[in-house]
């Protein structure tokens, strides 16, 4: 039996993890996070499509692809969290379980970062736990997928 696929999408500037403000985002690189995510997913019986883009339209395309081909979606929208109605609309349009993820606690940050435009389309939200949040998001997503 083929494994169900969880899409893990990462937004702008997350390619800089490990060097960008490690006091906020931690010292793990995106490659480190991807490796740990793949290992966790394998233990949960899931395949992973792990991607990053700095381009809003590409993320919208991938969200739509996740809705068509995936069993669930984890998204760290990065800076688009606070601005992207296009991502909100794409997330709202797909019927798979969705979890929004943030490395930092956005509610403990600057005022403009405290509002997530995209969160209303998510089934759950994990934030402030650094790279460990990816594994927790996979566990939650696996539960949502099994109930879908």
Which of these is catalytic: 7, 80, 102, 134?
A: 102
80 given a catalytic annotation: no
Distance CA 99, CA 30 (A): 18
Which of these is catalytic: 7, 25, 80, 134?
A: 25
82 given a catalytic annotation: no
Comparing CA positions, the residue from 113, 99, 138 lying closest to residue 21 is: 113
H-run or E-run covering 88:
helix 85-93
Q: Characterise 61 by phi-psi region: left (phi > 0), alpha (psi -120 to 50), beta (else).
A: alpha
Active-site positions? 25, 102
């Amino acid at each position: 039996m083929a494994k169900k696929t969880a899409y893990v999408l990462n937004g702008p500037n997350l390619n800089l993890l490990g060097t960008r403000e490690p006091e906020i985002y931690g010292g793990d690189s995106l490659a480190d996070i991807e490796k740990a995510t793949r290992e966790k997913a394998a233990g949960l019986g899931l395949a992973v499509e792990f991607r990053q883009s700095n381009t809003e339209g590409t993320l919208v395309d991938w969200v739509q692809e996740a809705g068509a081909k995936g069993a669930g979606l984890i998204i760290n929208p990065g800076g688009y969290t606070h601005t992207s109605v296009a991502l909100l609309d794409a997330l709202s349009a797909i019927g798979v379980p969705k979890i929004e993820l943030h490395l930092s606690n956005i509610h403990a940050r600057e005022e403009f970062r405290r509002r997530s435009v995209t969160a209303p389309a998510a089934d759950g939200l994990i934030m402030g736990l650094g790279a460990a949040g990816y594994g927790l998001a996979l566990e939650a997503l696996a539960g949502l997928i099994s109930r879908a």
